[in-house]
């Protein structure tokens, strides 16, 4: 009997001592206290509870660093310059950051844990990025695989942006998906329509976001996004412009063109839109109408695979069509929106026609 009690006492005491030791260690080791995050050399100072990632911490404070993967360290969108106080670089970061980034103290904010005071630098434009909630007012089929969304903003009720910018659309959890994901979509509506945002979404096979938009999203549903993001916009000059786009790349140009019509911007622009078959074209009537109202604007749709379809417009690859129409590019500017392949080919043809490389603008989404 005595041995049993003694045994119980000793095992209890040993386990107890170890448990206390672990709890004390956890409180001491895992508690990072209050940390000060200094932004842009003191222009903003945040006092935050340490222990979370920089991305999550900033998001809590209302600063939205772009992120497509929700902080899992796989998209490399959330780059932030951490000038001081950053922890050692994690293996997940070395994979996605170029040597130049690391040399300049650029880090992935979703992998940087706030354990002490930090001094960071972020572009001023990020302070204007807000989280928006809206209601889907209209879903329109533009082609067999492209839909147009018209969203009425609820909170905040209005948005300010420069035509050409994009938003990060939140795809909520559905089916077996464990977390929301974010995808970038250019705003297709003009800034004058402050209470609405229009997006053009093209179905991608096996796409998390586009599957949701095409099969689950209904008019009247709540929808969330943050923005505006992006540097793609008209330049300050008056130079003649060559626009090249295909598929959902129409979006920023639809915003810019309508903006130009409203403001009476008479700057000369030729919009080359490339597709394969006639059924891939959309907004053609609206753009022809815009041509009438804005004489400096010209719309040139081109199809590359329309033999025998009764198409009498421009034929061939969009880059070949551009090559036929554009000459003397030294004083012109290029604006591109589309996939990587289209952008590479377009840059090549524009440079060959004399457009200076630094005057060709695009957001490279791929």
C-alpha–C-alpha distance, residues 349 and 356, integer Å: 11
Listed ranges 2-10, 34-42, 216-224, 284-292: which one lies at the site for other proteins (CB under 8 A):
2-10
Residue 189 or 211 having the CB closest to other proteins = 211
The contact pattern for other proteins, residues 189-218, with x = CB under 8 A and - = no contact, is: -------------x-xxxxx--x-------
Residue from 33, 42, 88, 295 touching other proteins (CB under 8 A): that is: 88
Based on the shown chain and the rule CB under 8 A, indicate whether residue 148 belongs to the binding site for other proteins: no
Residue 92 or 105 having the CB closest to other proteins = 92
C-alpha–C-alpha distance, residues 365 and 243, integer Å: 17
C-alpha–C-alpha distance, residues 137 and 220, integer Å: 6
- How many residues line the site for other proteins (CB under 8 A)? 63
Other Cβ atoms less than 10 A from the Cβ of 270: the count is: 18
Residue from 58, 82, 318, 322 touching other proteins (CB under 8 A): that is: 318
Residue 34 or 366 having the CB closest to other proteins = 366
From the CB of 25, what's the least distance to other proteins, in Å? 5
- Please give the full DSSP string across 223-278, using - where no structure is assigned: EEEEEEE------SS--EEEEEEEGGGHHHHHHHHHHHHHHT----EEEEEEESSG
Based on the shown chain and the rule CB under 8 A, indicate whether residue 69 belongs to the binding site for other proteins: yes
Based on the shown chain and the rule CB under 8 A, indicate whether residue 178 belongs to the binding site for other proteins: yes
Based on the shown chain and the rule CB under 8 A, indicate whether residue 106 belongs to the binding site for other proteins: no
Q: What's the gap between Cα 167 and its chain centre?
A: 6
Listed ranges 25-33, 124-132, 289-297, 324-332: which one lies at the site for other proteins (CB under 8 A):
25-33
Based on the shown chain and the rule CB under 8 A, indicate whether residue 15 belongs to the binding site for other proteins: yes
Residue from 52, 183, 258, 359 touching other proteins (CB under 8 A): that is: 183
DSSP 310: T
C-alpha–C-alpha distance, residues 266 and 285, integer Å: 21
Other Cβ atoms less than 10 A from the Cβ of 35: the count is: 19
* Stretch 221-280 residues interacting with other proteins (CB under 8 A): 246-248, 274-276
203-216 in b/e form (b: 16+ CB < 10 A) is: beeebebbbbbbee
């Amino acid at each position: 009997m005595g041995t049993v009690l003694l045994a119980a006492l000793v095992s209890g005491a040993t386990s107890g001592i170890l448990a206390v030791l672990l709890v004390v260690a956890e409180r001491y080791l895992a508690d990072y206290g209050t940390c000060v995050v200094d932004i842009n050399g003191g222009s903003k100072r945040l006092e935050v509870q340490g222990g979370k990632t920089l991305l999550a911490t900033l998001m809590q404070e209302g600063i939205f660093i772009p992120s497509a993967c929700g902080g899992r360290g796989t998209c490399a969108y959330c780059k932030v310059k951490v000038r001081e106080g950053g922890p050692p670089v994690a293996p997940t970061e070395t994979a996605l950051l170029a040597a130049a980034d690391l040399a300049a103290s650029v880090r992935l904010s979703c992998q940087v844990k706030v354990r002490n005071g930090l001094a960071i630098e972020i572009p001023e434009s990020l302070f204007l990025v807000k989280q928006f909630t809206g209601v889907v007012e209209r879903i329109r089929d533009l082609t067999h695989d492209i839909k147009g969304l018209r969203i009425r903003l609820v909170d905040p009720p209005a948005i300010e942006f420069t035509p050409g910018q994009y938003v990060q659309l939140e795809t909520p959890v559905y089916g077996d998906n464990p977390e929301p994901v974010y995808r970038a979509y250019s705003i297709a509506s003009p800034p004058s329509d402050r209470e609405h945002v229009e997006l053009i979404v093209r179905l991608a096979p096996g796409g998390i976001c586009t599957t949701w938009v095409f099969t689950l999203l209904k008019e009247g549903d709540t929808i969330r996004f943050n923005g505006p993001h992006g540097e793609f916009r008209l330049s300050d000059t008056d130079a003649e412009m060559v626009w090249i786009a295909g598929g959902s790349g129409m979006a920023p140009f639809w915003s810019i063109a309508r903006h130009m019509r409203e403001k009476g911007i008479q700057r000369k622009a030729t919009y080359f839109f490339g597709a394969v078959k006639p059924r891939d074209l959309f907004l053609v009537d609206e753009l022809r109408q815009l041509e009438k109202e804005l004489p400096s604007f010209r719309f040139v749709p081109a199809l590359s695979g329309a033999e025998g379809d009764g198409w009498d417009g421009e034929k061939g690859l969009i880059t070949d069509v551009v090559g036929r129409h554009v000459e003397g590019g030294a004083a012109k500017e290029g604006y591109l929106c589309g996939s990587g392949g289209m952008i590479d080919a377009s840059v090549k043809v524009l440079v060959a026609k004399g457009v200076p490389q630094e005057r060709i603008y695009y957001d490279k989404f791929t």
